[in-house]
Amino acid sequence: MIATLSYNAVSYQIDLSKPLDLSIALRGDADGVNAWDISPPEIAPFQEGNFVGSVRMGAAVNFNMIHFNPHSHITHTECVGHITEEVYSINTQLQCYFFFAALITVAPEQSGDDLVISRKQLEYALGDKRVEAVIVRTLPNTEKKYHKKYTNTNPPYFLEEAAEYFNDIGVQHLLVDLPSVDKEKDEGALLAHKAFWNLSGEMRMGATITEFIYVPNTIADGTYFLNLQVAPMENDASPSRPVIYKILES
């Protein structure tokens, strides 16, 4: 199915039959992705009295209970409510779901004991692209990201200046293959989160950060059409499924 879209007075075509899924699924065991020293998620049949919600155990249907944290166990999208005293829900903050997005690949730079992503790197990778969303794939990039345990590993993170750059060029939606845009242990500074949402000025309501994506190496850098959907949960963050589509040559 070919769809024709218009952006900045230019028409584009995409093939909706060929989605490229960037999400990492929730697993009910210890084999999935994990961060923040949280126990693995649990997916297990509901039990009450003699009832066990499992067809294998005699029930008419499978009826599972799921216990997880979106920030720790799955691709998720978060809003400014992640870092504010006032409650804001991703379910109300994200009101549009289709965007033109730039996919870039960045090799984090060594800075002392850390690996960081700087403004200069982003400026170089994005060039003159001005889009609503940016998808950042970090190197090295292997399928281990589907299962990696990030706790106490000091993963790469974005410098404050890098997050400010997204703000400066009007990027509303940032997607990364890391557990956080900030340093794992920063004593609550959260400099990149705060800079991206402009917490010290006019907060960027509606802007989102999506973490724990995975972009296979078979997908080339470039501009794509992004569908970003979240589960309808009244929470600062919710499981999400970012899907991108190649823009066809005219």
For the segment 20-57, what is each residue's pLDDT rounded down to a tens digit? 999 999 999 999 999 999 999 999 999 999 999 999 99
Strands (E), 159-236: 173-176, 208-211, 222-230
94 within 8 A of 116, measured Cβ to Cβ:
no
Question: Over the stretch 100-158, which tens digit does the pLDDT of each residue have?
Answer: 999 999 999 999 999 999 999 999 999 999 999 999 999 999 999 999 999 999 999 99
Assign 250 a pLDDT band (cuts: 50, 70, 90). Answer: low
> What share of the chain in percent tops pLDDT 70?
100
Residues comprising the chain, all counted: 250
Task: For residue 194, give both structure tokens.
Answer: 């705060």
Assign 160 a pLDDT band (cuts: 50, 70, 90). Answer: very high
Nearest residue to 229 (alpha-carbon basis) of 239, 237, 218, 240: 240
Q: Which residues contact 192 (CB under 8 A, 6 or more apart)?
A: 157, 158, 159, 160, 162, 163, 181, 182
170 within 8 A of 140, measured Cβ to Cβ:
no
The verdict on pTM exceeding 0.75 is yes
Domain boundaries, the chain: 2-34+69-248
Q: Which CATH number fits domain 2-34+69-248: 3.30.70.260, 3.30.450.40, 3.30.70.360, 3.50.30.50?
A: 3.50.30.50
Task: For residue 213, give both structure tokens.
Answer: 């994506």
Q: Which residues contact 62 (CB under 8 A, 6 or more apart)?
A: 45, 53, 54, 55
